[in-house]
Chains A and B, each alone.
Chain A
């Protein structure tokens, strides 16, 4: 056999399983071998779960042999961002403070995929506690962009995106708080979906900013995203913020086309700071969608400029609270030499958290302090409501918004040492997060240096089906999918 199973999408791979041209064990072995060969260079994984993966694959083999696979994800090798709890498998959140932490339970999304027969290959690298846009804030290793190893894969789900782009997993789960699925998807040229807040359970997703965090999918094509999202979506009794809203069969709804679809182009997303090559590619994609039958109109989201400011109050406030539990008392790191309880806790947190995490804990603690609440958190929440209203007003006229995912393509390691420069990377993804809207990034071209460019679609709450349908129509009408990073030549 000459087929390289690691190049297939989920639906192609399971098709091969059903036709008995491949088995989950063979696909899993190929992936594990490829990880072994290439991941030292790529740095996508923090933990590789060989034995567990092979065990799950063998079970899936049997089901295909009996002609009774569990569904469209049975035997599919996936990577999970290391912020998702996996029973019996270390979960670090990219932080030394959770070393060691082995969860006694599975995140709901992990459990659901397990029930669907998916094979976990391992845990993907990330910015510490999902705080960052380059995966450079991981306490453990650097992750490289498969399209250019001198560049970042984006973040915080950089390991998840690099694994899919570098063919080290057929698809992966990431999490998105202010763009952490969409931005690395754009940088690595894969499909990244951030569902509506409440669409997917957060139970077992180690919290960064509770009112923003969502689990998302990183895949090779739109159909895979539809399949994976369908498997993880739906209300969960363990997550009071998950919403009991029917989950459509996204894959079955892909083919409707864009004829009559009303697209809005937010004026504020095309201003200063947008890389001209990115702008050209996005505008060309919008033109293509118009050609395919969509109507396009420019709209305005006047509060766009305030998005980052609001985000950098709300997210650190929630983070400062969520991260208070890491104190060396119960699990994870405990620094030695503490004179008393407070000293032990201080030493543990000083040694366990990286600079970016500390920065955000400080920001959040300050913003919540007595006398500052109204000026910071209180006001940020008010502006957040205005951001939401902006989107509501836009969606009264259009069905979807089309915009760039990021202002630029993947940057080089070390290029954004200034935190503010790093934060600006999220300027187009943060507003949708603040409003809890579903959004997606997919490849819409390459710059002259051969780096992928991401197109962002933003939809109404719980309108993931329409988002996916539009993305699918564009993907089918273009040929961007055929280009692959040339990792193998660097072997």
Chain B
């Protein structure tokens, strides 16, 4: 059997204000404090389109190779639920913003191009807070802070062939959105949400099998797990001669299974019709072209360029290009230091450990700007400080925000490379530690390493270990 998967991804756009009113979109505010008559759907209010949300939609459409339609139109989607203040959602239906694109996804099996059917904009709904569980609650409260936050829905074609590929698609998709700056990609806070459609069919069959929609698969891992479970469930059912029922199933991440929410007979009739309170939008070619010109280099292309230009391993390139801010940081630091691999190591093993994340805000607030990190790598490369001292200097840079040169100079951390001074120290060490010398003489070559260590210790780590080594190698045979 062949697995057929399609993903619907809802992304909250990072606009400052909501889709149809001026309320802020920040997450986590006290309930119902980010609302106004418009997003509360009060009688008499009217929506006004957020131009930035439209630009974000067009930007994403272009990045995902979709055709931006010459015009688009909003439509009302009706169903009754208290988290939706008007009992209809302003969405797009017959005339979406963009259609027919694709996203290239790198999987173990190679590069796959997954088709994207459409991209449209809509408004998010509020959140219900139940006292206890939904089944036992005596009352429910509604928080409309999220109601009206711009949402971008992107529907893939049913061209994903495995649960792993679905997770890879979602990862690549997220990376593009985060790069474009249109979504923060935070799946825990619900900025990015995913529903999956899955069906099975005999390999090579032209028509699709009966599909099941899985809701609530809001992490890469859960997308994969839920789909794996569902593929097995369907395979087993089909093998047993059962028919698959077209239905919506909910993924229960704690218990690791999907369960039926509603079948097709109970499917909503959304009664779509064009939103009469908004005029249809038409896009001038110049408007779209201007956005196209401003498109940044996308994660996949940048990753490939990092490998080609900086000769960093693909693994490094993948991490460094996770966010545009981090990739920019990396390139700025390399510009200072030249040693691309060393900078990569410092970014991955040190910088990312002290920053709260790799997003724009975390990078912008980094106490170590890229020029400082580059300068630090340069100090190591030109022998001014040792790698070991550099770690201490880095810690101080994190605390104080100072440039590494300033710290090194003030604290006298420059490596001792003066052979005369070092020979004097070596003589003292040899005089004070006859045991390792004896060992060396007996042919234990490892004793030389111990002596290097002792010299380093005596200089407080400032000695250039390579020079100490050279000096000892010259001196020992003569003793």
Contact = CB atoms under 8 A, between A and B. Distances in A.
The finding on whether chains A and B are genuine partners in a shared complex, rather than unrelated, reads yes
Interface of A: 84-85, 91, 93, 98, 101, 103-105, 107, 202-207, 209-211, 237-241, 317-318, 320-321, 324-325, 327, 329-331, 341-342, 345, 365, 368-370, 373, 377
B271 A206 contact: no
A105 B86 contact: no
Given A324-B88, A342-B80, A369-B271, A85 B49 contact: no
B41 interface: yes
Contacts of B87: 324-325, 327
Contacts of B142: 329-330
Nearest to A129: B43
Given A369-B269, A370-B269, A238 B48 contact: yes
B85 A321 contact: no
Interface stretch (B243-251, B273-281, B449-457): B273-281
A217 B395 CA distance: 74
Contacts of A324: 78, 80, 86-88
B46 A240 contact: yes
Contacts of A98: 43
Given A104-B37, A317-B273, A237 B86 contact: no
A207 B46 CA distance: 9
5 contacts: A103-B43, A107-B44, A321-B271, A331-B42, A368-B78
Contacts of B41: 325, 330
Contact of A321 (B76, B140, B269, B279): B76
Q: Quick one: which of A203, A240, A373 has the most chain B CB within 10 A? A: A240
Interface residues of B, number: 29
Contacts of B273: 317, 321, 368, 373, 377
Contacts of A84: 44
A202 B46 CA distance: 8
B82 interface: yes
Contact of B43 (A85, A320, A321): A85
A330 B85 contact: yes
B144 to A, nearest CB: 9
Given A241-B277, A368-B271, A203 B88 contact: no
Nearest to A84: B44
Given A101-B43, A209-B276, 14 more contacts: A85-B42, A91-B44, A104-B37, A105-B44, A203-B44, A203-B46, A317-B273, A321-B76, A324-B78, A325-B41, A330-B85, A365-B271, A368-B272, A373-B272
Nearest to B21: A238
A268 B275 CA distance: 32
Contacts of B278: 240-241
B73 to A, nearest CB: 12
B46 A321 contact: no
Contacts of A321: 76, 78, 88, 271, 273
A202 B37 CA distance: 14
Interface string B248-278: 0000000000000000000001011100111
Contacts of A240: 46-49, 277-279
B46 A93 contact: no
Given A85-B44, A202-B46, A327 B277 contact: no
Nearest to B45: A203
Contacts of A103: 37, 42-44
A364 to B, nearest CB: 9
B288 interface: no
Q: Quick one: which of B44, B45, B76, B82 has the most chain A CB within 10 A? A: B44
A241 B76 CA distance: 16
A164 to B, nearest CB: 23
B430 interface: no
A85 to B, nearest CB: 4
Given A103-B43, A204-B44, A370-B269, A210 B276 contact: yes
Contact of B37 (A105, A318, A377): A105
B71 to A, nearest CB: 15
A39 B309 CA distance: 85
B87 to A, nearest CB: 4
Contacts of B279: 240-241
Interface in B76-97: 76, 78, 80, 82, 85-88
Contacts of A91: 43-44
B43 to A, nearest CB: 4
A205 B269 contact: no
Interface in B364-393: none
A206 B85 CA distance: 15
A325 B47 contact: no
A177 to B, nearest CB: 12
B318 interface: no
B77 to A, nearest CB: 10
B355 interface: no
A96 B46 CA distance: 23
Contacts of A373: 272-273
B168 to A, nearest CB: 36
Q: Quick one: which of A329, A331, A373 has the most chain B CB within 10 A? A: A329
A240 B279 CA distance: 7
B82 A327 contact: yes
Contacts of B76: 321
A325 B43 contact: yes
Nearest to B76: A321
A318 B44 contact: no
Given A324-B88, A325-B87, A342-B80, A205 B47 contact: no
Interface in B47-106: 47-49, 76, 78, 80, 82, 85-88
B319 interface: no
B44 A211 contact: no
B276 A341 contact: no
Contacts of A105: 37, 42, 44
B187 interface: no
Contacts of A369: 269, 271
Interface in B28-50: 37, 40-49
Nearest to A378: B273
Nearest to A83: B44
Contact of A345 (B48, B80, B271, B272): B80
7 tightest Cβ-Cβ pairs between the two chains A and B: A324-B87, A210-B276, A368-B271, A211-B276, A206-B43, A204-B44, A85-B44
Contacts of B85: 325, 330
Q: Quick one: which of A202, A237, A324, A342 has the most chain B CB within 10 A? A: A324
